[in-house]
Structure 1
Amino acid sequence: MKGEILTEYDQEQIQEGGEEKISSLSDYFKGISKTPLLSPEEERKIAIKLKKERDRFIKSVVELINIFKKNPELLTLLKKEGKSEKDLDEAKENLVKAREFSNFVIKNKERILKITDNLDSTIDELKKAKEKYDEYKKKMMEANLRLVVSFAKKYTGQGVSFPDLIQEGNIGLSQAIDKFDYRIGKRFSTYASWWIRQALSRAITDQAKAIRIPVHIAHLIKKLTVISRKLEQKLKREPTPEEIAKEAKIPPEKIKKALGLSQEIVSFETPVGEEKDTPMIDFIANPTIPPPVYEVTLEMLKKDVRELLEKVVKDPREFEILKLRFGLEGPTYSLREIGKRYGVSRERIRQIEERALKRLRAPAEQKGLRGYLELLDFIRSQYKESYI
């Protein structure tokens, strides 16, 4: 549902055919602006009703789960739908799982009643409790959607689109409603802020769909990886970087150009390789890529990068740190390892490195080396966990 702003509740309703999809940000903003904010008293009244209906809903879920666990035929029906007894146990503790179980029960009511006909009123009670809880949850959601937008604005420009940030923030808001207990004495908006920020931070960490890696780099690493694995089978050992380079028959100049020029945004889902049969994420983020492939890829431009460092980075300590980080005269070193060498913290080394790299970016781009520097840092982070 890329580009649509949907709450967890909305997504469920769409699956059931109940809600129209939101078509644009402008429509969305117009819609949420029409909902008045809640006064502290109104918020408290809804929160009290939410707690009451949530408890009622959970009680109905637990009652039905206990019945299911004692009835082999009901358990068989459950398993036919791809669920297990473990799902039942989780539904007692997790409201999302409880909702999934209630949806299953309501959807399969007739089949359940054929197995045991004394659950009619119990299932009806479950359905009513769920509907009332959803009613009050929707009111709380709609009254706080502007809060999500205000936080989402602060997280833009970090790899996730504004609509997707709003959607993720809305999911955080939904989780906050499910967890909120008015008896703690806080305003709901104060409580929800933490959940919204957590959801936004998680979205930036986990859901950025693109990275600044040149398309040609993806193809190059794919090709070198295939060659490396073939040589390993043939030689019965790990091939050397020189053997891979010789087998690849790619002039160093061509590899330099491939690594240095293209700056397209590449999706993790982009098919790469000659047959376009492998998503980039399947190998670019895979720590099992043969180390020699990295070595071949990175060795090509070390001389150019060193010359650039010597021209731009005047501080001896900054120069040494970048030299160690980029492995210009040997293996690459982690922030922690460099910190130990200089007797300072990992964070201090990171700050020095960041300051030096900022000065390095513009001239690196002018010389067509920016792609190399980005690739180098990215590969280092994927190749060895201790590099962070």
Structure 2
Amino acid sequence: MVLYKTPNLKTILLNVFQDGILPYDIEDVLSLLVQKHYLMNKEQFLNYYKNDINQFWRDVASLGFKRDEKKATAESNDINDLKEYPEDNDNDFNIDDFFDSDEFKKRSDAEDIDNDAFKRNVSLIKDYQGINNSNERKNEKLNDICKINQRLVEKIAGKYEKMVRGTCLNIDDLIAFGNHGLLKAIDKFVPDMGYQFSTYATWWIRQSITRGIADESRVIRLPVHLHEKIMKIKNEERQYENEFGAIDASELCKNINMSDDEYWRFKSIAYQFDQITHLETIVGTEGDTELQDLLPITITVGSKSVPPDYMLTPEELFEKKELHDELENTLECLTSREAEVIKLRFAINKPDTMTLEEVGEIFHVTRERIRQIEAKALRKLRHPSKSKKLKDFIKG
């Protein structure tokens, strides 16, 4: 027997939930109904409602039952606190997560705009959702709701204006994205649940704006998860550069729980796609060079942050190879032991420099002996015949 087709739904719910209040979590509701043998299994319920949990709560509200609100008791956060959302599903906003969050009951952006106007939201939305046949009347009600909430959309959109500077988007585009989210909120809002529409709509408006920025701010769209990663890196870089003056990639990666290789690959993607508007700009007299090929990395990179080869321009890559070859030729004047000590101490073809003690452990000698070998090798390298070629690579 399918529970929700029975005419005694109200009686069944009263038998299970005698105080008229259902658990907040739909999983808890279904578990209790299964335990009391009023429902065969949870899949039966989900199939009947076609996974539309909101319709279940509408039916429950229409029968006079309430939902336990104890978990829906905190505030909405800024854009920086929004979590990543699935990549390609326009309806990825999870209403159960919304009500279950610690952010629901905090003062919304709407509260200090026009409380009197917002009091009309619930009644207007009820009227709008109750119109079935007249498209003209439905559109009139929809326009009224949108006008009342337009200042809310504009206020939220204004918080994202800095994010789109330097892109093809402007504040009008953000407001358009926000209005799209407002329309979704109007369509999905359940007036009988007793929540403020402005608080509910704020989530949809923010979700729509952030999705719009991810989809439309570049000529070629990046997947949302890549866009979120790149924005996270840029924010961290900005804070790091303001505090320390230069970016140490290794330390920054530790802060954002990311490997060095991931960091540089995300930087490479951002570098390519953020400059995409310049791809067709030709520079030089030959007509075969594009501006993108000549653009440098736009951040201040610390001396310890060495970018991988794919982040270098052709000129920088050639110079790096030439320096490497010259170093190898110069080190040929040393013994194999001296050359290896120099490479370990100065991180030549090695990931990091090593201390005297660390090198001594490799060669099974004392740190003092390694210091002597290093000093002898450096004296050889300082000879004018050897050092002259290397000095050409030193930038003043």
Fold-level similarity (TM above 0.5): no
**TM-score normalised by the chain length of structure 2:** 0.30
Q: Which has the higher contact order (CA 8 A, sep 6+)?
A: 1
Q: Which one has the largest radius of gyration?
A: 2
TM-score after normalising by structure 1 = 0.31
Question: Which structure features the higher share of helix residues?
Answer: 1
